[in-house]
Amino acid sequence: MHQFLIRRLIQSALLLWLLMTFTFFLTRATPGGPEAAFLENPKIGPEEIARIRERFGLNDPAPVAYMKWLGSAITLDFGRSYYYLRPPLDIIQERIWPTVQLGLTAYVFAFLGIPLGVIAAFHRGKLPDVIIRVFTVLWDSMPSWWTALVLIVILSTTIHWFPQGQGRDGPISWFTHIIIPAMILGLGGTVAFTRYVRSQVLEVLGQDYVRVARAKGLPERIVTTRHILRNSLLPVVTLMGGFLPGLISGAALMEGIFNWPGMGRLYLEAAATRDFPLLLAIITMLTLATLVGMLIADIAYGVVDPRIRLAQR
């Protein structure tokens, strides 16, 4: 277990470093340099630009700037945002909580996939399975953002209201504002969970120990809960981690559409203004969050599943 943990930690750190390096040099490779966004402003003259370059450390050659940036990024200091003129982490702190709320609510919807998958597996080939299958295929073929747009159109034409931004007047307003973006965000996960759970349960159903449990006359309820569900639902823990990158990407889309004041929206704004320090900070922090999430999911899987626990020794 320790060895496994250390290996995973090193892998994660390496991945984070690679991504940081990659994105840093990307921003340096922008045609016109990182300061291109300023050049488009006619009010800013040449000496102004020279001052800005000096101030944001853009005069350093790329390798020097990279070492400086990496050195300070390790201490979570990402310089200063071009647009907000503040440390990116401060801005992220203001925006992270709405995204966490959205993500957690989306997970609640994603978990609906577990009972759906179990139902589909137990009624394989019958009506419930077919309905669930149709639903999953349809959902997969529709761009989630388009579904969101259509929902907005429908809501605004029928009840002249649609969720925009975060509800700030009490819990009911909070709930009505979060429910639709979270649902659309989470349904992608619901589909993935449904499929995964279904195939897991089907596999366990065919195992010898299930047949033995039935043959020795155990009540079906016990066979289902102890033998089938316990074995087939454990691997779902890993899928929880696997859903995380997709969730974070999807959150950016939903935040853009529903004006949700979170990290994804912040990132879109930063990309539009080419605010590279902020972009780099967000992408680094998000990757870090993803890696930590996946690591926790993997460790949790090792803890709950004795088969893995033993195999790792």
C-alpha distances in angstroms, 300 versus 198, 214, 285? Answer: 21, 30, 22
Report, in this order, helix, strand and coil percent for the chain, each rounded to 5: 80, 0, 20
* Structure tokens, 293: 């999430």
Rule CB under 8 A: say whether 224 interacts with another protein. Answer: no
CB of 148 to another protein, least distance (A): 9
Q: Which of 183, 240, 279, 281 is close enough to bind another protein by CB under 8 A?
A: 279
Q: How far is the CB of 271 from another protein (least distance, A)?
A: 5
What does the chain come to in residues?
313
Among 44, 112, 229, 271, binds another protein (CB under 8 A): 271
Report if residue 290 touches another protein, rule: CB under 8 A: yes
What dihedral do alpha carbons 65, 66, 71, 74 form, nearest 10°? 130
CA distance 228 to 308: 18
Binding mask 293-312 for another protein (x = CB under 8 A): -x---x--xx----xx--xx
Q: Contacting another protein (CB under 8 A), which of 180, 183, 223, 282?
A: 282
Told to check if 80 binds another protein by CB under 8 A, we report no
User: Residues 227 to 266: which contact another protein by CB under 8 A?
Assistant: 235, 238-239, 242-246, 248-250, 252-253, 256-257
**CB closer to another protein, 50 vs 153:** 153
Calculate the alpha carbon distances from 165 to 53, 96, 101, 175 in Å: 36, 14, 13, 12
Contact between 130 and 210 (Cβ < 8 Å): no
Residue 191 vs 213, nearer CB to another protein: 191
